[in-house]
Amino acid sequence: MESLSTLQLAALNSFAAGGFEGASMSLIAGAAGIRKPTIYAHFISKEDLFLSLLPPVMELEQRYLEDLLSRNQEEADSLLRYLESFAPRMNESPPHLRFLLRSIYLPPESAKERVSRLGRGHYEKLWGLINRKLAALQAPAGKIPDLSAAYLGLMDSVQTCLLYAPAFADERLRSLWKLFKPALPERSLP
């Protein structure tokens, strides 16, 4: 992630691994190759550092989905590929998806409202991308909001499973996709 500083990348790794509470400013400083007081020259608090990561990570995820959905405009397989991408991307480096999910589902108490506000904006952008994809698939206009909501629910289910019970995530995805797939326009299915 080219837009993040070395300090922010070290923080991203630390927050992704241990969550907000488990991240240590001393360890972040060490990983960034700086002394702990230097962090405070750039960020007023651990929360400020944490919150600085959310917008660029959310934007990266939005671009990822947009790129994926723009391919094969008239096929629904990109919707499934996005869901399938979660498991391998949970452990990539830097672990932006793991950080994003931990942040949205387990925000620090002190920043819960700000994370929630950012999360709502993020989901609105994802919602718009999914709506556009469903429209390109020629789903009936009246069904698009319900299909988008169902897809986001499927997405949330798989993501929370990856956080709490990763061994069952693939099985959950396959089962839920079997229920979702028949609701898509038939001509768009591979």
Domain ranges of the chain: 54-188
Q: Find the distance separating the first CA and the last CA of the chain, reported in whole Å.
A: 33
Q: Which two tokens stand for residue 112?
A: 């819960």
**Phi, psi dihedrals of residue 185, rounded to the nearest 5°:** -60, 130
Asked whether 87 and 165 are in contact (CB, 8 A), the reply is: no
Predicted confidence (pLDDT) at residue 80 exceeds the cutoff of 90: yes
Confidence of residue 124 (pLDDT cuts 50, 70, 90): very high
Predicted confidence (pLDDT) at residue 189 exceeds the cutoff of 70: no
Q: Tell me which residue of 136, 146, 137, 105 sits closest to 122, measured CA to CA.
A: 105
Q: ω into residue 94 within 30 of 0, thus cis? A: yes
Distance CA 32, CA 9 (A): 8
Please give the CATH topology (third level) of the domain spanning 54-188.
Answer: Tetracycline Repressor; domain 2 (1.10.357)
Supply the pLDDT for residue 93.
Answer: 86
Confidence of residue 91 (pLDDT cuts 50, 70, 90): confident
- C-alpha distances out from residue 181 to 124, 176, 185, Å: 22, 9, 9
Taking residues 145-172, what's their average pLDDT? 95
Task: List the beta strands (DSSP E) in 39-175.
Answer: none
Predicted confidence (pLDDT) at residue 43 exceeds the cutoff of 60: yes
